[in-house]
Amino acid sequence: MKVSIIGTGYVGLTTGVALAELGNDIILVDVIPEKLRSIQGGQAPFYEPGVNELLSKHVGNGRIRTSLDTQASVMDTEITFISVGTPSREDGSMNDEYILSASNDIGKALASKDSFHVVVMKSTVVPGTTTGKIKPTLVASSNKQVGIDIGIAMCPEFLREGAAMHDSLNPDRVVIGCEDDGTFDILSGLFEPLGSKVLRTSPTSAEMIKYASNSLLATKISYANEISRICEAVGVDVYEIMEGVGMDFRISPQFLRAGVGFGGSCFPKDVSALMHIAKDLDLKTPILDGVMENNRIQPRHLVSMAERSVGPLEGLRIGVLGLAFKPDTDDIRETRSLPLIQELLRKGALVCANDPKAMDNFREIMQDIDYMEDPNAIVDGSDVIFLMTEWPEYRSIDWGSKEHLKGVFDGRRTVDPGQMKNLKYWSMGKPLAQ
Ligand code: NAD
Ligand code: UGA
C-alpha cells in the first residue's frame, strides 16, 4: 500500500522502514529539512542500531521517499500515520499542538481527495484525543464523513529505543482502535505480514492501553527501586531478590532491574500525563504519585550513599560515565544523569563526563562540565566515578589498575564486581560495605 508518515522521529522513521520492509511504498514527512536530507542519504537523524541498513536499502530501491509537504504526501497515498511528538507541558499535561497542526494539514488535503483514506494516530495521546480532537479537526478541515470518505484509527506504538527496529518488525501485539470495519480491514491487512496478535478496540481504549502499559512498566521499576533501598538496609542484594520474585510466571522477571530510575522520552511524560488526566477528573493516584516520587529519589540516593562511603564530595573531581537514558541510544530526554550531575554540582564537585553517543546532545543542555571522548582518561583523572548508563564500553576499562579512585558507584550494574576487586565499589541495591 502507499503510506505517508507525518513526523520522522524514532516512531515515524522506524514505522516507515518496517512498513517498507513489508513491501509498502512510504513517504516520510517532517518539518525539519535537515532530518529529511539525512534520511534521503540513508542515515537516521539519531543513533538507533539496525535502522540505517534497512533505511539505505529502501531509499535505494525507491520504496522510501521524503517530503516537506504533508498535503501532497497525503494526496499521493492511501494511509497516513501521525507520529509527531506529544511532549509534556509545564504542568505535566500532554501538549497536543503538533498532532492538531498535523491533523489540520491532513484534513485540508483530504478535502480534495476522492478515494477512501485512513488516518492513523500513532503518537501517544491521552484517552479521548482521537475521537474528541483529531476526528473533529479532520472533519472540519476536510468536510468529509468518517466511515464513508475517511477512516480514523488509533494504533499505539510499543517500541523501545535501542531496539526500535527489532520491536517494529516483531511487536508482541498490534492494537487497532477504530470504529468501522473498513478501516479495521485495511489496517489488519497492512500489519498482517508481521504475524503478531491483533487486538481490536475503540480508539479511546487503544489510547488507554498505551498509558496503562507504560505506567505499569514504570511502576515495576519504581517498585524494584523501593525494595532495593530496603534490601541495601537489611543486607541483601535486590538482584537476587528480584530473580526469585520474577520466577513466578504471574510476575515475570522483566522491568525489575533496580537502579538509578527510569528516564527516556516516554515513562516520565506518560505517567505525568495520566496523573494529570486523573486530577482533572478529581481522582487520586497514590500509586502513580509514588512511582514518580521513587524515581525522583534514586539519583539523590546514589549521591548520598557515595557521601556515606567516601565523605563530602565538595572539591572532588567526579567522573560520570553515561549520559544517555539507556544504552544503544543518543537520546538524553529525562536521563537520570541530569539530576545526578545537578546534585553533584550543588555539592561543589567538579564534574567531567563521557558517553559513547550522547555527549553532543547533553552539551546542548549543560555547558558547565568537562566532556571527554576517552572514558579511560576520565577514570584516570577522577577521584570518584558514577556509572550511569550500562554501555559495554565501560566494562572494558582496565579497572584493576585504578587504585587512585576513592570510590566507584554504579547506578546500573554496569560492571562485573569481579573486575572491581581492588576498588571501593558499590552498586545500587546491595549493602554498602563500611
Ligand atoms: P520525536 O520528537 O523523535 O519526533 C517527532 C518528529 O515529528 C520530529 O522530527 C518533528 O520535527 C516532527 N514534526 C513535528 N510536527 C510536525 C508536523 N506538523 N509535520 C511533520 N512533522 C512534524 O518523537 P518520537 O520519539 O518519535 O515520538 C513520537 C510519538 O510517539 C510521541 O507521542 C511518543 O510519546 C510516542 N512514542 C515514542 C516512543 C519512543 O521510543 N520514542 C515509543 C512509543 C511511542
Ligand atoms: C519504553 C517502553 O519499554 C516501550 O514499550 C514504549 O514504547 C516506550 O517506552 C515509549 O512509549 O516511548 P524506552 O523508554 O525506549 O521504552 O526504554 P526502556 O527499555 O523501557 O527503558 C526506560 C527506562 O527505564 C530506562 O532509563 C531504563 O534504564 C529504565 N529501566 C528499564 C530500569 O531502570 N529498570 C528496568 O528493569 C528496565
- Cβ-based neighbours of 212, under 8 Å, separated by 6 or more: none
Catalytic residue, candidates 178, 231, 266, 352:
266
Identify the residue whose C-alpha is closest to ligand 2 atom 5.
158
Say if residue 348's pLDDT is above 80.
Answer: yes
Residue 344 Cα to ligand 2 midpoint, Å, equals 25
- Cβ-based neighbours of 149, under 8 Å, separated by 6 or more: 110, 116, 117, 142
Residue 249: burial class (beta carbons within 10 Å; 0-12, 13-18, 19+): exposed
Residue 57 Cα to ligand 1 midpoint, Å, equals 23
In whole angstroms, what is the distance from residue 246 CA to residue 344 CA? 34
Decide the pairing of beta strands 370-371 and 25-29. Answer: unpaired
Confidence at residue 88, expressed as pLDDT on a 0 to 100 scale: 87
Confidence at residue 368, expressed as pLDDT on a 0 to 100 scale: 87
Is there an atom of ligand 1 within 6 Å of 74 CB? no
Is there an atom of ligand 1 within 6 Å of 120 CB? no
Q: What percent of the chain is predicted at pLDDT more than 90? A: 97
Confidence at residue 417, expressed as pLDDT on a 0 to 100 scale: 94
Confidence at residue 52, expressed as pLDDT on a 0 to 100 scale: 98
Is there an atom of ligand 1 within 6 Å of 68 CB? no
Say if residue 170's pLDDT is above 70.
Answer: yes
In whole angstroms, what is the distance from residue 207 CA to residue 244 CA? 33
In whole angstroms, what is the distance from residue 25 CA to residue 37 CA? 18
Confidence at residue 92, expressed as pLDDT on a 0 to 100 scale: 83
Quick one: average pLDDT of 346-361?
98
Q: What φ, ψ does residue 186 adopt, rounded to 5°? A: -65, -45
DSSP single-letter state for residue 132 = I
Identify the residue whose C-alpha is closest to ligand 2 atom 7.
158
Quick one: average pLDDT of 40-53?
96
- Cβ-based neighbours of 262, under 8 Å, separated by 6 or more: 218, 221, 222, 268, 295, 334, 336
Is there an atom of ligand 1 within 6 Å of 6 CB? yes
Identify the residue whose C-alpha is closest to ligand 2 atom 25.
262
Quick one: average pLDDT of 294-306?
98
The more confident residue out of 93 and 235 is 235
Confidence at residue 422, expressed as pLDDT on a 0 to 100 scale: 86
| Ligand 1 binding pocket mutation candidate from 8, 11, 209, 335 (most atoms within 8 A of CB) | 11
Ligand with smallest separation from the Cα of 88: 1
Residue 159 Cα to ligand 2 midpoint, Å, equals 9
Residue 119 Cα to ligand 1 midpoint, Å, equals 16
Is there an atom of ligand 1 within 6 Å of 123 CB? yes
Which residue's entry shows cell 558507584? 409
Q: What φ, ψ does residue 55 adopt, rounded to 5°? A: -65, -50
- For residue 42, give Cα distances in angstroms to 17, 159, 332, 396: 11, 21, 23, 31
Q: What is the pTM of this model?
A: 0.96
Confidence band of 93 (pLDDT split at 50, 70, 90): confident
Kindly give the number of the ligand 2 atom that is closest to the alpha carbon of 335. Answer: 26
Q: What percent of the chain is predicted at pLDDT more than 70? A: 100
Confidence at residue 434, expressed as pLDDT on a 0 to 100 scale: 61
What the block records as the C-alpha cell of 168 is 517494529
The gap between the terminal CA atoms of the chain, to the nearest Å, is 64
| Ligand 2 binding pocket mutation candidate from 86, 266, 270 (most atoms within 8 A of CB) | 266
- Per-residue model confidence as pLDDT tens digits over 95-153: 999 999 999 999 999 999 999 999 999 999 999 999 999 999 999 999 999 999 999 99
Which residue's entry shows cell 555527549? 359
Say if residue 387's pLDDT is above 70.
Answer: yes
Ligand with smallest separation from the Cα of 335: 2
Residue 51 Cα to ligand 1 midpoint, Å, equals 16
Confidence at residue 409, expressed as pLDDT on a 0 to 100 scale: 98
Confidence band of 82 (pLDDT split at 50, 70, 90): very high
Q: How far is C-alpha 139 from the chain's CA centre?
A: 32
Confidence at residue 366, expressed as pLDDT on a 0 to 100 scale: 96
Residue 412 Cα to ligand 1 midpoint, Å, equals 27
What is the rounded (10 degree) CA torsion for 10, 12, 14, 15?
140
- Per-residue model confidence as pLDDT tens digits over 242-278: 999 999 999 999 999 999 999 999 999 999 999 999 9
What the block records as the C-alpha cell of 304 is 548520598
- Per-residue model confidence as pLDDT tens digits over 1-11: 999 999 999 99
Q: What φ, ψ does residue 183 adopt, rounded to 5°? A: -65, -45
266 a catalytic residue: yes
Ligand with smallest separation from the Cα of 125: 1
Where in 51-143 does DSSP place strands (E)? 64-67, 79-82, 117-121
In whole angstroms, what is the distance from residue 153 CA to residue 205 CA? 11
- Per-residue model confidence as pLDDT tens digits over 185-195: 999 999 999 99
In whole angstroms, what is the distance from residue 235 CA to residue 261 CA? 21
- For residue 261, give Cα distances in angstroms to 156, 206, 347, 420: 24, 27, 21, 23
Which among 226, 296, 229 is positioned nearest to 432, based on CA atoms?
Answer: 229
Other Cβ atoms within 10 Å of 6 Cβ, number? 29
**What residues are in contact with ligand 2 under a 6 Å CB criterion?**
124, 157-161, 214, 217, 221, 255-257, 259, 262-267, 325-326
Residue 408 Cα to ligand 2 midpoint, Å, equals 25
- Considering the chain, what is the average pLDDT of its residues? 97
